[in-house]
Amino acid sequence: MTTYHALVLNLHQPPGNLEHLLEHSPWEAKEILLALDRIPRSLWGWADVARVHLSLSGTLLETLSSPDFQSRVYAIADCGSLLWHFQNERLFSLLGTGYYHPVLPLIPEPDRQEQVRRWRGIASHLFWREHFGGFWPPEMGFSMELIPLLKRHGYRYVLVDSAYVEPITPMSWPELRYRPHIARYGDEEIAVVVRDRELSDAQESGMELSWFRREVAARTRHCHFEPLVTTATDGDNGGWFRNLSEEANFWTVLYRPLLEGARSAQDLVPTFIDDYLDSHGVHGEVRIRTGAWNTGWHHGGDFTQWTGSQAQRDALERIGVLSRRVHELHCAIGECQGHDSRLRGLAQEALWRILRAETSCNLYWGEAWVPRVHADLDAAEALLGHLAAPAGT
């Protein structure tokens, strides 16, 4: 029986982070850029078997496509060529996500729409396509009410963490984890693909192929179907992905040997999720409890990483207040003063500031980056004040 493996890598850098690292920690910036550059280079010559899903945040795409940034780092990595290589549909399946990498269930509903819409804008421009089959929720932060939004934007499936999947249709543990399912919210439904949390933890920290093969075989031994094993981690963080040594790097130690095995035997075969869905479909209905993936010592179920302190909660509350104000002004401008370019420009800039404030990293590092939230919100509030002022003041 063939077991299929879907490899998913999340690639994200906060706004301005790579530029900051170039100035203050150039070796770290170099490690990140080389980790990104290594992805397509590691797969040259393996297009017959290699299959990799990539989620690239809008802020990372914005940085990599900046002519100024490209010229600054050309001696390290050719970012223009890197983006070109990511267009290779034989090797890569590009996943949709949120532009500023927000934890979507934690931000106001109108902002979710903007984050998803703006990512599609930059990705469609850079990768010359309109269709993206799958959706990667930033930080794997998912709640069922996101389903109608994802369907409106044409997504076929969404990735969810195994810790939150509950069966509605009776099914076994292997069926629950290693088959795609349907989740419904109201009149909308979407396919859900389950990330194996434990195997993903091993992928993140480093593992031997022999161990991975044995573990996959043990977990799928009771499957009466051809299972889909999905592992998803960051692809540019941690020594396993950043290490320059071929003796201690994900691509040379694990993935290329896995590809060699896929060429000679058909027991563990890399696949695109869309291809698996085309061949095997979905089975059964599930519900997904609200939560995020595990990071460090945090389980993710209560969003403690982003809501654990009063300062974090206060920042999220302020985001909600200002978001309501700017969206109300957008509606008022559209209804009453739709041709006033000055007002539209100020409102758009205020909204941009709020969306950027919602970057998950701003709230993840305890309270260290919370001031970044307030810096953008202060600017948004000032712009909202200008909106109430007469033109020319």
In contact, 139 and 122? CB cutoff 8 Å? no
Dist. CA 230–CA 252, nearest whole Å: 20
> What's 203-236 look like in SS3?
HHHCCCHHHHHHHHHHHCCCCCCCCEEEEEEECC
Tell me the residue ranges of DSSP E strands in 35-172: 52-56, 92-95, 134-135, 157-161, 165-167
The tens-digit pLDDT sequence of the chain (393 residues) is 899 999 999 999 999 999 999 999 999 999 999 999 999 999 999 999 999 999 999 999 999 999 999 999 999 999 999 999 999 999 999 999 999 999 999 999 999 999 999 999 999 999 999 999 999 999 999 999 999 999 999 999 999 999 999 999 999 999 999 999 999 999 999 999 999 999 999 999 999 999 999 999 999 999 999 999 999 999 999 899 999 998 899 999 999 999 999 998 878 999 999 999 999 999 999 999 999 999 888 899 999 999 999 999 999 999 999 999 999 887 777 655 555 677 888 889 999 999 999 999 999 988 999 999 999 999 999 998 877 655 544
